[in-house]
Amino acid sequence: MRVFGIAVTMEGEQKATAYGVVLDDSSGSPVIETKFEITNDEADLSTRLYDMAENIRTKVDSLRPDRVAIRRADFPPTQSRKEAPKVRMFAEGALASAARSKCVLTYLGTGKDFGAWCGSDKDTVEAEAKTLAKASPGIPQKYAFAISAALGALAHS
């Protein structure tokens, strides 16, 4: 099975970056085929979200994954009035909608969800993702959350 895992991070209050990986487990164990990064901070928010959505729509259309999983923000311990969490949620929604337009099996989940889908917990899946990143040449640790999303996509039933 071939899956996409995507995770959004924020740099400052306005710059959302989506880190993504394509994971394939047809050999019996997951292998990272490729990685990608989607970012844009040079336009108004609606244009940035549109550009991110179109970028992922094109990737899903051309690479044809069996499933897509997008990591959404975990529940914060306290409420925040800051702009960054809102922008991140907008970006996650735009990416999910665009991916879903090309791949019906598109899921949103938290780290806890991915742990449950894998039959373990958040920490175990994140540790496995970090190990997979270390074992894959050219994959920095900043892709670990995207890898954990991809592992969740592989396990989702």
pLDDT band at 66 (very low <50, low <70, confident <90, very high): very high
What the block records as the tokens of 76 is: 């914060």
2: alpha, beta or left, given left = phi > 0 and alpha = psi -120 to 50? beta
d(CA 6, CA 147): 8
- pLDDT at position 96 is 98
Q: What is the pTM of this model?
A: 0.94
- pLDDT at position 81 is 77
Task: Look at residues 6, 122, 13 and name the one whose alpha carbon lies nearest to residue 63.
Answer: 6
Work out how many domains the chain is built from and give that number: 1
d(CA 62, CA 60): 6
Q: Which residues constitute the domain of residue 100?
A: 2-155
**CATH number of the domain encompassing residue 113:** 3.30.420.10
Task: Look at residues 65, 66, 67, 2 and name the one whose alpha carbon lies nearest to residue 30.
Answer: 2
What the block records as the tokens of 73 is: 């923000």
85-133, pLDDT tens digit by residue?
899 999 999 999 999 999 999 999 999 999 999 999 999 999 999 999 9
